[in-house]
């Protein structure tokens, strides 16, 4: 694909300042279009929170995740200054929002229903709550996409220091009760078995959905999916997300589907999302017939610090061989809270036989699960399906 076949993208061009021209040329045009559509839906369309607050929360996300251009872009777009210092915002609702974003940006797997109750107590509506999860999740995707595109061009984006305050999840224990909030059995390990997912935030009933809400996920699921009904509270973002998902994972050319699904499973391991890992590990096995290798990946017990951030990602590729080991390592490094992915990783992938389009495919699949995991982890929890009734 030639560089002239891809329309300029103002947002991505701004974030890739200093990266050689042509960085977007190998990205699927539909991926670029839906990335732009999601950004427009978040920041240009009317939303139930002010634009200055949304840009402020996005700048907070970028600071925690180390993305200098994103941090600068949101500040230039008018980020609320109350959110940009380590001082507690005087406004109680802003303070609650920033604590929540601190949690989701760094430690999404430590989210609990109590975090949703805190937002409700601060006066936030379900639509606003889902919007904030979408914002942190989208920014996590966008940051990783642009880090990977810069690496493909042989450079690295500027970083930004993390906030000086203590992350909101520090010192928490991961939920380990035997049952979910709704009373279902909780999964105790990563698995390829089919799991359920239960929301902590009320989803619209099927007969309450607007036409725009149904359209936002019609290409992904039916109206009996509680998850998609829930995230349809942000219909513009969800529609772009649904189309982006299809553009990344359903395309027949490029990186083999098994390896795209492998990347999704790796990201879900790093982010500790048992539900997403179950779905995409199962798909990786189905496409590759390498179920033992997938099981080896799922069985890795990653060491984690007080923020539940992995302190060592090397056990993930250690159990794999050849090309898969290279792909697992790259996806894991890109999935880190502050990604450690750079030109050296691209060089290793090229040595393993990937062309530039395949490198981007792996990056977009990985980055998309920085988005998907944060939605699943912040808005509900995985559950074991109820046994069939007699």
pLDDT tens column, 262-292: 999 999 999 999 999 999 999 999 999 999 9
Q: Which of 331, 193, 210, 337 is nearest to 263 (CA)?
A: 331
Torsion from C-alpha of 377, 55, 246, 269, nearest 10 degrees: -30
Give the per-residue pLDDT at 7.
47
Give the per-residue pLDDT at 25.
87
Give the per-residue pLDDT at 277.
98
Where does 68-108 have alpha helices with state H? 68-76, 92-106
Instruction: Please provide the average confidence, as pLDDT, over all residues in the chain.
Output: 94
CA distance 222 to 378: 22
Q: How far is CA 186 from the centre of its chain?
A: 22
Identify the band that residue 354 occupies on the pLDDT scale cut at 50, 70 and 90.
very high
Give the per-residue pLDDT at 127.
98
Strand partners, 322: none
Q: What is the pTM of this model?
A: 0.95
* Bigger pLDDT: 37 vs 2: 37
Check whether 373 has a pLDDT greater than 60. yes
Check whether 5 has a pLDDT greater than 60. no
Residue 264 backbone dihedrals phi, psi, to 5 degrees: -65, -40
* Bigger pLDDT: 18 vs 103: 103
Q: How far apart are the first and last CA of the chain?
A: 56
Distances (CA, A) of 126 to 48, 112, 119, 229, 304: 10, 15, 9, 12, 31
Identify the band that residue 390 occupies on the pLDDT scale cut at 50, 70 and 90.
low
Give the per-residue pLDDT at 12.
81
For the beta carbon of residue 344, count every other beta carbon within 10 angstroms: 11
Q: Buried b / exposed e across 151-181, counting CB within 10 Å, b at 16+?
A: bbbeeebebbeebeeebbbbebeeeeeeebb
CA distance 21 to 155: 12
Q: Which of 308, 311, 356, 316 is nearest to 332 (CA)?
A: 316
CA distance 311 to 313: 7
Task: Give the model confidence (pLDDT) of 103-122 as tens digits.
Answer: 999 999 999 999 999 999 99
Q: What is the mean pLDDT of residues 313-324?
A: 95
Q: What is the mean pLDDT of residues 32-36?
A: 93
């Amino acid at each position: 694909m030639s560089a002239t076949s891809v329309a300029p993208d103002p947002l991505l061009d701004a974030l890739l300042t200093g990266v050689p021209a042509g960085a977007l040329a190998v990205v699927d045009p539909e991926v670029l279009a839906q990335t732009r559509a999601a950004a427009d839906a978040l920041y240009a369309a009317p939303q139930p929170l002010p634009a200055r607050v949304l840009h402020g929360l996005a700048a907070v996300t970028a600071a925690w995740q180390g993305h200098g251009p994103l941090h600068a872009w949101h500040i230039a777009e008018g980020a609320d200054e109350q959110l940009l210092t380590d001082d507690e915002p005087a406004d109680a609702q802003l303070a609650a929002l920033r604590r929540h974003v601190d949690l989701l940006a760094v430690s999404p797997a430590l989210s609990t229903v109590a975090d949703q109750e805190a937002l409700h107590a601060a006066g936030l509506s379900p639509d606003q709550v889902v919007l904030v999860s979408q914002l942190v999740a989208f920014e996590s995707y966008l940051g990783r996409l642009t880090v990977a595109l810069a690496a493909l061009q042989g450079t690295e984006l500027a970083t930004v220091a993390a906030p000086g305050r203590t992350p909101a999840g520090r010192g928490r224990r991961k939920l380990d009760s035997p049952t979910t909030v709704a009373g279902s059995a909780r999964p105790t390990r990563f698995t390829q078995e089919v799991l359920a997912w239960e929301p902590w935030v009320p989803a619209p009933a099927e007969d309450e959905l607007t036409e725009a809400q149904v359209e936002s996920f019609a290409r992904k699921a039916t109206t009996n999916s509680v998850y998609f009904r829930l995230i349809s509270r942000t219909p513009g973002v969800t529609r772009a997300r649904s189309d982006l998902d299809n553009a990344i994972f359903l395309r027949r050319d490029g990186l083999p589907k098994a390896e795209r699904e492998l990347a999704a499973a790796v990201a879900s391991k790093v982010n500790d999302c048992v539900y997403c890992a179950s779905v995409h590990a199962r798909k990786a096995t189905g496409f590759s017939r390498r179920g033992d290798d997938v099981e080896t990946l799922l069985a890795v017990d990653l060491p984690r610090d007080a923020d539940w951030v992995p302190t060592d990602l090397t056990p993930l590729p250690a159990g794999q061989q050849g090309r898969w080991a290279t792909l697992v390592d790259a996806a894991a490094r890109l999935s880190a809270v502050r990604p450690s992915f750079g030109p050296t990783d691209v060089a290793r992938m090229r040595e393993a036989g990937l062309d530039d389009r395949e490198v981007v495919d792996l990056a977009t699949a990985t980055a998309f699960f920085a988005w998907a995991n944060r939605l699943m982890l912040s808005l509900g929890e995985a559950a074991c399906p109820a046994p069939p009734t007699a």
